A and B are shown apart, each in its own frame.
Chain A
Amino acid sequence: MFSMYWAAEAAKTPPPWLGFVSGGLAAQFVFVVFLFAATYGLIRRLQGGGRVAAIRKIAGLDAINEAVGRATEMGRPVHFTPGIGATSDPQSYAAFAVLGEVGKLTARYDTRIIVTTANAIMTAITDEIVRGAYLESGRPDAFNPDDIRYLSSAQFAYSAQVLGIFEREKVAANIMVGVFAAEALLLAEAGAQIGAIQIAASTNTFQLPFFVAACDYTLIGDEMYAASAYLSKDPALTGTVVAEDWAKMLILGVVVLGAILNTVGSKWLQNILNR
Chain B
Amino acid sequence: MRKELPILVSFLFGAVVILAKYISLGPLPELIKVLDKWSIVSGAFAFLFGMINLSLLHGHNVARRKSDYLFSLYFIIVMWAFFFLGLYQTQKGYSYKWIFDNVYTPGTSTMYGMIAFYIATSAYRAFRARTMEATVLLVGAAIVMLGNAPVGAVIWKQFPVISDWLLKIPNTAGMRGILVGVYLGALTTAIRIILGLERGHLGGRG
On whether A and B touch (CB less than 8 Å), the answer reads: yes
Q: Mark B62-91, 1 if CB is under 8 A from A, else 0.
A: 000000100000000000000000000000
Residue contact A221 to B46, C-beta cutoff 8 Å: no
- Chain A: which residue is nearest B178 at the CB level? A221
Chain A residues in 8 Å Cβ range of B202: 128
B182 near A: Cβ within 8 Å? yes
B167 near A: Cβ within 8 Å? no
Chain B residues in 8 Å Cβ range of A145: 56
B23 near A: Cβ within 8 Å? yes
Residue contact A222 to B182, C-beta cutoff 8 Å: yes
Given contacts A100-B200, A136-B205, A149-B53, contact A220 B189 (CB under 8 A): no
Q: Complex: how many Å from CA A123 to CA B185?
A: 24
Q: Complex: how many Å from CA A28 to CA B23?
A: 12
Given contacts A120-B49, A132-B203, A185-B118, contact A35 B187 (CB under 8 A): yes
Partner pick for A22 among B23, B108, B184, B188, CB 8 A cutoff? B23
A142 near B: Cβ within 8 Å? no
Chain B residues in 8 Å Cβ range of A68: none
Residue contact A32 to B22, C-beta cutoff 8 Å: yes
Chain A residues in 8 Å Cβ range of B205: 132, 136
Partner pick for B191 among A36, A146, A208, A221, CB 8 A cutoff? A36
Residue contact B206 to A100, C-beta cutoff 8 Å: yes
Partner pick for B118 among A28, A186, A208, CB 8 A cutoff? A186
Residue contact B24 to A225, C-beta cutoff 8 Å: no
Which of A59-67, A73-81, A209-217 interfaces with chain B? A209-217
Q: Total A-B pairs in contact (CB under 8 Å)? A: 197
B175 near A: Cβ within 8 Å? yes
Q: How many residues of B contact A (CB 8 A)?
A: 64
Q: How many residues of A contact B (CB 8 A)?
A: 80
Which of A243-251, A257-265, A267-275 interfaces with chain B? A243-251
Residue contact A35 to B188, C-beta cutoff 8 Å: yes
Kindly identify, within residues 76 to 115 of chain B, every residue whose CB is under 8 Å from any CB belonging to chain A. Answer: 104, 107-109, 111-112, 114-115
Residue contact B53 to A97, C-beta cutoff 8 Å: no
Q: Complex: how many Å from CA A43 to CA B191?
A: 12
Q: Complex: how many Å from CA A42 to CA B114?
A: 49
Chain B residues in 8 Å Cβ range of A244: 184-185, 188
B130 near A: Cβ within 8 Å? no
Residue contact A228 to B192, C-beta cutoff 8 Å: yes
Chain A residues in 8 Å Cβ range of B122: 185, 188-189, 192, 210, 213-214
Q: Which chain A residues have a beta carbon within 8 Å of chain B's beta carbons?
A: 20-23, 25, 28-29, 32, 35-36, 39, 43, 90-91, 93-94, 96-97, 99-100, 120-121, 123-125, 128-129, 131-133, 136, 145-146, 148-154, 156-157, 159-160, 168, 182-183, 185-186, 188-190, 192-193, 203, 205, 208-210, 212-214, 220-222, 224-226, 228, 232, 234, 236-237, 240-241, 243-244, 247-248, 251
The 5 A-B pairs at the shortest CB distance, nearest first, are namely: A225-B185, A120-B50, A90-B186, A222-B181, A156-B108
A121-B46, A205-B175, A248-B184 known, 19 other contacts, Cβ within 8 Å? A90-B190, A93-B192, A94-B189, A96-B198, A120-B46, A120-B47, A121-B49, A132-B205, A151-B54, A154-B108, A160-B108, A189-B125, A210-B122, A212-B133, A213-B134, A221-B178, A222-B185, A237-B198, A240-B197
